[in-house]
Chains A and B, each alone.
Chain A
Amino acid sequence: MKFSTLLSLTSALALAAVPFVAGDAAAQANKKIKIGFVTTLSGPNAAIGVDMKNSVELAVQHLGKKMGGIPLEIVYEDDEQKPEVGKQKTEKLMQRDKVDFVAGYIWSNVLLASYKTVTDNKTFLISANAGPSPLAGEQCNPYFFAASWQNDQNTMAAGELLNQKGIKSLYIVAPNYAAGLDMANGVKSTFKGQVVGQDMTKWPDQLDFSAEISKIRAAKPGAVFVFYPGRAGVQFFQQYSQAGLKKDIPLYTTFTVDAITLKLQKDLTLDTFQTLWWAPDLPYAANQKFVSEFKKKHKDTPSFYGAQSYDTINLINSAVVATKGNLKDKDALRNAIKAAKFDSVRGPMKFGKNHFPIHNIYQQEVYKVSDTEYDIRTVSTVYKDLVDPYAAKCPMK
């Protein structure tokens, strides 16, 4: 009995080992560029991950599934919006898949838990969304780039927009995690009036904002600023309107209205104020190609999450092409990424010394395309070539 168990176990192991050996040999023979892409593909915010994945697929298709003539493979991983799961999946990408680049990451807390696994192995990590302040300032990292933005940038524009609108007092509500704190700091750093109240809510569990909304009503601020990415944004808009505050106290948001949430928020977003780095109507050729081809391929409007993911793949491609596929020379590769020689959907952009983008931030608004369709368009440029406030603290050159 024991012998037969041992025998079957051994043969199972032997069988399992065969494809591994063959696989490794094949990978050696025809070289491949492997990119690990971590995003959220399950849970309430799975729609964001799907949008990012769709955009990556579109970028891969536009590149002809090759980077600099070398076949390209993307390995997707689901972080379930949990830092510990994100870290595990990142380790899996590094150790089992042995990827050449790691990209993605929606949530700042997931990125902060995961990035060291990549950068300590001298592999480049390109964030396709999260831009937490620690990585932009003193802990800036030679192996980390953000193809998206630094968290504070977009909300600094919200603060400036509030000044332009002559708002004197502000109430801030944001979730209590790395990005929420950055977003609140961003708006406070540029807003010249008085912040009369600030609530940081439990993240991501708290979805009922009745207590906070009652406090807003009592505080009677000139405006409210909120940051609630993904589904929580739908809930905040709904409850804010149900409480009857929407018509009395103007609502300013960042990352709270996007092409995905808009399908549920609809009319609630009209007459509210948004600031962001990208909108589907930006008049650059690369952007128009991305938006129209995305609509054609996926029968849907891309969100800013998608735009960043599309940029991420094209940024990596530009570096692979510039280094002629030689990924061993890390310094040359870093310089090639930092040069950002690709057509970004946002138009002009360059990297600052902390590897975060220097780019424009716009005011945006939601408008009705038809009775049932909504879209987002640019209203004005709030900041031109905005450098994030942490870059000065970064010791890299």
Chain B
Amino acid sequence: MLLIFEQFLNGLQIALLLFLLAAGLTLVFGIMDMVNLAHGSLYMMGAYFAAVFTEWTGSFFLGAALALPAGALLGIVTEIIALRTLYTRDHLDQVLATFGLILFFNELARLMFGAGGMTIETPNWLQGQIEILPGLPYPSYRFLIILVGLLCAAFLYVLVQRTRLGMLIRAGASNREMVGALGINIKQLFTLVFGLGSALAALAGLMAGPVTTVQIGMGDNILILALVVIVIGGIGSLPGAFIAALAIGIIDTMGRAFLPNMLGAFLSPSDASTLATALSSMLIYILMAAVLVLRPAGLFPAPGR
């Protein structure tokens, strides 16, 4: 029972990182109708910024606090220089251009930070474990990820549902032209949303850094998962992204954790492990396919789309 709960926490932690990344992606996709594959690069750059700033300041929290605005700034600069001209083009052009940006950022990271990758030093009290339930020690850093992730989710909820900016974001996701026709500076709104998305990606990257180390191309794999999340959740929908990220994180972890034993009950150990490995890595895609069949627009499509 404790193991199931522990694995649930593991899944939750992956899910929240995924949500932070997917939130920016789904906002940009939903509001600007822009496929931004380079979102994973902003995740990577956020992690590198945090590693560098942590080294400079000697404090993980100062480093993280500096990396967030740096990530947002990088996103805004990228939007103004490279992406702004792509809004009116079709999706294929956007995919090609932002794929180019991935290569650009990977090479930039190699030039600036070297091919060897970096580690982010966390304070000692974050390297230990805390006993969240009797008999269940849990890595305190992973616990911090869960806390920060939940706080961010709450912050985003309030921002989108309760503020004027959030109203514009929701309106933009439903009908871009109408928002522009009502006299809102849509260019400024886009840049703002892009900056917000970039800061969230940077936050996800810098929080993943101490767990998975900072390396070139670290955003490429997780970006695919984030795309799966926004497709399942419904493009442009933050609650959708949250639910889908939870589903994916938990299904993925539970699959890895318990499928081999379950299959082992009626298959030979070697067959069970082969099948379980294959199945657990396919589970989330099976889920995506199922959602697409039943609800082609995703679980929570933005109204009016």
Could you tell me if A242 and B141 are in contact, using CB atoms closer than 8 angstroms? yes
- Inter-subunit contact A235/B211 (CB<8 Å): yes
| Inter-chain residue pair count (beta carbon < 8 A) | 97
CB contacts under 8 Å to A, within B239-289, are 253, 256-257, 260, 269, 273-274, 277, 280-281
B128 proximity list for chain A (CB < 8 A): 244
Chain A residues lying within 8 Å of B274, measured Cβ to Cβ, are: 200
- Any A CB within 8 A of the CB of B127: yes
A212 to B260, CA, bound (A): 11
Interface segment, A1-9, A40-48, A101-109, A309-317? A40-48
> In the bound complex, do residue A231 and residue B117 qualify as a contact, i.e. CB atoms below 8 Å apart?
yes
Number of interface residues of A (CB under 8 A): 35
B273 pairs with A244, CB closer than 8 A: no
- The CA of A260 and the CA of B213, in the complex, are separated in Å by 14
**In the complex, A263 has a CB within 8 A of chain B:** yes
Q: In whole Å, how far is A107's beta carbon from the nearest beta carbon of chain B?
A: 16
Kindly state whether residue B299 has any CB partner on chain A within 8 Å. no
Complexed CA–CA distance, A199 and B6 (Å): 17
Most buried by B among A208, A217, A231, A264: A208
Question: Is A44 a contact partner of B277 (Cβ separation < 8 A)?
Answer: no
Shortest A199–chain B CB gap in Å is 7
A183–chain B nearest beta-carbon distance, Å:
14
> In the assembled complex, which residues on chain B have CB atoms less than 8 Å from the CB atom of A207?
212, 218, 221
B residues less than 8 Å from A215 (CB atoms): 3, 257
Q: Which residues of chain B (1-27) have a CB below 8 Å from chain A?
A: 2-3, 6-7, 10-11, 13-14
Docked pose: A264 CA to B118 CA in angstroms:
7
A201 in contact with B256 (CB, 8 Å):
yes
B219 to chain A, nearest CB (A): 11
Residue B3 contacts which of A42, A212, A218, A243 (CB distance < 8 angstroms)? Answer: A218
Are B119 and A214 closer than 8 Å at their CB atoms? no
- Given the known interface contacts A235-B212, A244-B128, the answer about A210 and B117 at a Cβ–Cβ threshold of 8 Å is no
**Which of chain A's residues 235-271 have a Cβ closer than 8 Å to chain B?**
235, 238-239, 241-244, 260, 263-264
B137 adjacent to chain A (CB < 8 Å): yes
Q: B130 — nearest CB in chain A belongs to which residue?
A: A244
Of A47, A207, A211, A244, the most chain B CB neighbours within 10 A belong to A211
Asked if A289 lies at the interface with its beta carbon under 8 angstroms from chain B, I say: no
Which among B129, B212, B274 has the highest number of chain A CB atoms within 10 Å? B212
> Can you list 18 contacts pairing A with B, beta carbon distance less than 8 Å?
A43-B217, A47-B116, A50-B115, A176-B277, A200-B273, A200-B274, A210-B14, A211-B10, A212-B256, A217-B6, A231-B213, A231-B215, A238-B212, A242-B129, A244-B128, A244-B137, A264-B119, A264-B213
B interface, CB within 8 angstroms of A: 2-3, 6-7, 10-11, 13-14, 106, 110, 115-119, 127-129, 137, 139, 141-142, 210-213, 215-218, 221, 253, 256-257, 260, 269, 273-274, 277, 280-281
In order of increasing CB-CB distance, the 7 nearest A-B pairs are A210-B10, A242-B139, A44-B215, A244-B129, A211-B256, A46-B115, A211-B257
Give chain A's interface residues, CB within 8 Å of chain B.
42-44, 46-47, 50, 176, 198-202, 205-208, 210-212, 214-215, 217-218, 231, 234-235, 238-239, 241-244, 260, 263-264
